[in-house]
Chain A
């Protein structure tokens, strides 16, 4: 305590400024965690937090053993991993490419346009894609006019997944690129000048300067992304799926939704808890792995 007090006094200004943020997290993120108790109770509002009966693992058991949970879990992980594999590097690529564009006005325009879909709700985007990609929609009309077979983008399992992933990438790529562009902007011009003196061309500079400079950002984002691997994108799937692709697109969130349409708070909490625990295990494990591989230089913490 002795050593702490002087430093608190010394940093009083910054600490005061930090206080609202800490309060925010305490009030809106840590305090509600107490609500996780509901996952182990048969919660009814009248009986309240304490009065409600303990049910142990009943809610989790109920979640896992009612219906075809394994199937749903597999769908969730499949969609998430595909999103990660194909979607993770798309913003990186866009950022590297945009960074090479010399005309500032043009670059800003592209960047803004690419980031725009991120602000449009999936309710609207799904409506647009359902119209464009339906069996009798304009895209298939074009294919048919060109002599190709009509493709069930929305009605055949594998095509539907491909549609989900690609439209998901399209929606998020511009926004995701912003963080990489910020990192790229921070690279010292000295490095480029030195490279030019050594005779490096643009490609060399990308490979040897830009990319290495982005590695910490990439690792951080990758670890954070893994944490949400059980979130396969409820908004998008719920708005785009239909009976012919239930097999491949029924995810944890849609599964839980069917069970909590009545005020089943405990079950909803149990599902949320399960997703968070898996996410946390992944973050901790991957972070440890990243630190080990990079000998302590990389990782979120």
Chain B
């Protein structure tokens, strides 16, 4: 949110407040100052709450982002209403103005019964401002045991996204597809033009291809106007992640090393990766404008033939020819001779593939502090029923097979007329991307179900080039779960981006890496890591409560 909009918000708030001040003075009351005046969220005695299934409940429902063109009364909504005897009032908000609109709604006291958020920092803020109902773990275990087990199996770290001061403030959702790492896409015609017959697989082969792409005129236009790679600095998760992951590093995430949580970017291996990238930059194979990149620039550089490698796509949005909006089809429209091929990430020195992945954690569903508790139980029953039955989960995620979509091993899932257009599909069915959540069924489908929906080509691509097992995942899911992250994480990322970019571009000596580590620690990094290790104990406590079986340390 930008500063100006905050000011607007503040002033609007202030106007309302001043009215109250005047009123308050008139009534000679003047609030309840002091600590004892703090309003404790009303404690609900859950043992006394019961849900009568025969009673129709009205629930206002602010679903996940990305459904701004949704309409009330979609097929999935009707299905959910019929199955669970509810009357849903869906709220669709444009993602661009989501924060602003939502803040204003909340500030105005217009809190939906159910709402979503994916940012632990914002989730905590809503709890702190008193908008959110506490949801004890025991209640979840009692009323939605299957759903709890599903979260535990797919992404237990998500429990901590809604943890605040020892208590639970929501229901985590999972998107198992998030565990699949990104894929490498190469220009097959370029590789052929420079005489490379095998898709690069080792770091040396990557380097070799980048060199040829830069110096051997891969597009045969007679101009030296191409580069090996054009990474993006627009988001920390984009910055050369595949080359850090090759050395087992998550440069901008928390990583567990020898039982201790540390920051990937300050490990000595990170320095070695920087040294390599610095050499590559000096060699001229990295697009010098990468440092200005906005979110799409890396993709555009690939699409427009400036570079022949793109490492930020998924198979579906980059290489899946059956997907009309995939990059491969857009590029074929621009220049018919273009051919793309998928590849694995650069092979690690341990002989295994590694690549950063977000993991299966999804957003968090929260309930309004003003909600009628029986509605909470109804929603819990909904979740439990849906995710205990993969067939039902599938139906409420994508609509009905034969009516809304069909499957063939050649094309995978295809939406049927009149739902062909992706947008129309979302509007009319209430569904989104089939691996992700739908508006009313908040978690994604398990990977084995997703796998049965894939075409041969998709299955092959995942098996060969982006296996979930290769994924390196932040050891706490998201660094933002730490309270001190609200304070320092923005600054720390800023410092790191600055040093890394300067070192790669040769604006600083490589030895400044030690200076970076010292500054990173001083500016809040040390505190962050101490908190992370402490937080892990709290996490284990929560995991014990909800019954997570601890996996091997990553």
Contacts and interface: CB of A to CB of B under 8 A. Distances in A.
Grouping DSSP codes into helix (H, G, I), strand (E, B) and loop, the B interface class, with mixed when no group exceeds half, is: helix
B6 interface: yes
30 contacts: A27-B15, A32-B11, A32-B15, A34-B18, A35-B10, A35-B13, A35-B14, A45-B129, A46-B130, A49-B21, A51-B31, A51-B33, A53-B35, A53-B38, A54-B33, A67-B488, A134-B289, A135-B289, A136-B288, A137-B289, A243-B291, A246-B498, A250-B494, A253-B3, A257-B2, A260-B1, A260-B6, A262-B486, A263-B129, A268-B6
B107 interface: yes
Contacts of A134: 289, 292
Given A45-B130, A47-B38, A53-B38, A35 B11 contact: yes
A300 interface: no
B210 to A, nearest CB: 17
Given A244-B291, A244-B501, A47 B130 contact: yes
A261 B13 CA distance: 17
B244 interface: no
Contacts of B293: 242
Contacts of A247: 498
A130 interface: yes
A243 B497 contact: yes
A242 B291 contact: yes
A46 B1 CA distance: 21
A272 B7 CA distance: 9
B5 to A, nearest CB: 11
A269 B10 contact: yes
Given A250-B494, A259-B486, A47 B39 contact: yes
A22 B174 CA distance: 55
A185 B416 CA distance: 70
Interface in B274-293: 287-289, 291-293
Contacts, number: 158
B58 to A, nearest CB: 24
Nearest to B20: A49
A40 to B, nearest CB: 12
Contact of A258 (B490, B505, B507): B490
A152 B37 CA distance: 57
B456 interface: no
A48 interface: yes
Interface string B288-313: 11011100000000000000000000
A66 interface: yes
B549 interface: no
Contacts of A262: 119, 121-122, 124-125, 486
B524 interface: yes
A256 B487 CA distance: 10
B107 to A, nearest CB: 6
B401 to A, nearest CB: 42
Contacts of B103: 263
Contacts of B119: 262
B424 interface: no
Given A53-B35, A269-B10, A31 B15 contact: yes
Interface size class of chain B, counting residues whose CB lies under 8 Å from the partner chain: 35 or more
Interface string B29-58: 011111101110000000000000000000
A285 to B, nearest CB: 25
Interface string A237-276: 0100011101100100101111111111100110010000
B316 interface: no
Interface string B499-512: 01110010100000
A169 B148 CA distance: 59
B216 interface: no
A68 interface: yes
Max chain A Cβ within 10 angstroms of own Cβ: one of B369, B491, B502, B523? B491
Contact of B11 (A28, A68, A244, A256): A28
Contact of B491 (A28, A44, A49, A67): A67
Name the 8 nearest CB pairs between A and B, nearest first. Answer: A50-B31, A46-B130, A258-B490, A35-B14, A262-B125, A243-B497, A32-B14, A243-B501
Contacts of A259: 486-487, 490
B220 interface: no
Q: Chain A contact residues (Cβ within 8 angstroms of B): what range? A: 35 or more
B497 A48 contact: no
B17 interface: yes
B17 A130 contact: no
A67 B491 CA distance: 7
Contacts of A137: 289
A89 interface: no
Contacts of B124: 262
A24 to B, nearest CB: 13
A26 B20 CA distance: 16
Contacts of B34: 53
A35 B39 CA distance: 21
A263 B124 CA distance: 10
A54 B491 CA distance: 27
A33 B4 CA distance: 16
Contacts of A68: 491, 523
A264 B99 CA distance: 13
A31 B129 CA distance: 23
Contacts of A256: 3
Contact of B106 (A45, A66, A154): A45
Given A45-B130, A46-B39, 16 more contacts: A32-B15, A45-B107, A47-B130, A48-B31, A49-B17, A49-B31, A51-B39, A67-B524, A250-B494, A258-B494, A260-B3, A261-B490, A262-B122, A262-B125, A265-B9, A272-B7
Given A66-B487, A243-B291, A262-B121, A48 B10 contact: no
Contacts of A257: 2-3
A51 B38 CA distance: 6
Interface in B103-120: 103, 106-107, 119
Contacts of A51: 31-33, 37-39
Nearest to A240: B292
B100 to A, nearest CB: 11
Nearest to A239: B294
Interface in B501-540: 501-502, 505, 507, 523-524
B126 interface: yes
Contacts of A263: 103, 106, 122, 125-126, 129
Contacts of A264: 125, 486
Contacts of A33: 14
B26 to A, nearest CB: 14
A50 B18 CA distance: 11
A234 interface: yes
A34 B125 CA distance: 23
Contacts of A269: 10
A234 B293 CA distance: 19
